[in-house]
Structure 1
Amino acid sequence: MNLVLETERLIFRPLELSDAEAMFAMDNNPIVHKYLWQTPTQTIEETIKIIEMVQKQYVDNNIGRFATILKETNEFIGWTGIKLVNDHVENGNTNFYDYGYRLNEKFWNKGYAIEASLMWLEYGFNQMKIDKMNAYTHAENGASNHILQKVGMKFMEDYPDKDGVLWKWWQMENGFLDC
């Protein structure tokens, strides 16, 4: 996949194996994983397998999570993007488009998540012609829930996962954004 997208401050490109070290540093941080099943990545080999899995999604689904790069410094700040969820059931749903992001802690509270979210929603609706975009967040993750609300996603419902942890289900329909 050779798609590269940009916003004012960010570049979005497919994940590469060369991102493994920076991605591992992000995913090894317990604070980053506080609302992500609390399972930080333990080895760089795990990160490499994740990158390879995402690269397979590019081939199979023509979309997936993208490396998110800060233009000013060329730093990997995390990943953002659209994923076709077809490998499990989430809140009774499968075969749906999910918007998601994960940023390294040192890049939080700088507006990057909102900037990326608006770009990906616009891309999903206007370029991919997705009818509905979904997202799900840990119920206690106030920052992520605020970001999804701020970019216009509609809170649909709370739901428990298989372990009884409460999550929030978000959705936006095509045509909602005035792009």
Structure 2
Amino acid sequence: MLPISTARLILRDFQQDDAAAYVSVRSGEHFAAHYPAEAVSPAFTRALLARFLADQQLVPRTRWQLAIVVATTGELIGSCGLRREPAGYWSVGYELAESHWGQGYAQEAMQALLAAGRNTLKVQWLRAECHPENGRSMRLAHKLGLSRLGSVPDATVQEGTVVFEWRA
């Protein structure tokens, strides 16, 4: 399945030496507006990276959190993920450095990831969660073909979170 290439991006497994770039991706003021302060700290981000690296070793692999890299420069600009949840659906999500917002990178990365998930992993049920004030992410969910379910359909999501879903 990897790497996944698009016209402008490469989606690949994270590497240990991505730590500084990944901390930078998650450090923007506007990025942080949708997370609790502790969830965007450098220590928390490094712990996430360690989890992503460990997830790469799972057999069978059920968690695919991938680095989004600009193909022409090699710059790490974000991450996108596809994770098999105990309830049977696959959760999806992305994060992008503020300096790369508004350029279509998130949509390009997510379209490629979801196509790989559907074709290679045979994903048939997806869910995405969005902060209610994150209009960009909610618009992207619609562009990707996910339908809005509403807020907090079950106890597995934080109160107020907007949930989107797609089924084959």
TM-score by length of 2: 0.87
Partners in 2 of 1:53 and 1:145 — Cα distance? 26
Alignment gaps of 5+ in structure 2: none
Aligned match for 1:107, one of 89, 100, 109: 100
- List per-residue Cα deviations over 1:103-159 (Å, max 9, x = no partner): 000000000111111111111111100120111101111000001101211111212
Report the alpha carbon displacement of residue 13 of structure 1 after superposing the two structures with TM: 0.6
Between Structure 1 and Structure 2, which shows a larger proportion of helix residues? 2
- State the match for 1:129 in structure 2: 122
- In the other structure, the counterpart of 1:57 is 55
- Confirm whether residue 96 of structure 1 aligns to residue 89 of structure 2: yes
Greater relative contact order structure (CA < 8 Å, 6+ sep)? 2
Match of 1:48 among 43, 46, 49: 46
- SS of aligned partner of 1:31: helix
Note closer, same or farther for the CA distance 1:85–1:36 as it changes in structure 2 (3 Å cut).
farther
What TM-score, normalized to structure 1? 0.82
Moved more, 153-162 or 137-146: 153-162
Could you say what the CA RMSD is over the residues aligned between the two structures, in angstroms? Answer: 2.2
- 1:68 is aligned to 2:68: yes
Counterpart contact for 2:32–2:40, Cα < 8 Å = no
Q: Is the 8 A contact 1:81 1:100 kept in 2?
A: yes
CA drift of 1:38 comes to 4.2
Tell me how far apart the structure 1 counterparts of residues 126 and 75 of structure 2 sit (CA, whole Å).
28
Q: Separation in 1 of the partners of 2:96 and 2:167?
A: 25
The percent of aligned pairs where both chains have the same amino acid is 24
| Matched AA of 1:166 | G
Conservation of the 8 A alpha-carbon contact between 1:68 and 1:78: yes
Q: Which runs of 5+ in 1 are unaligned?
A: 87-93, 175-179
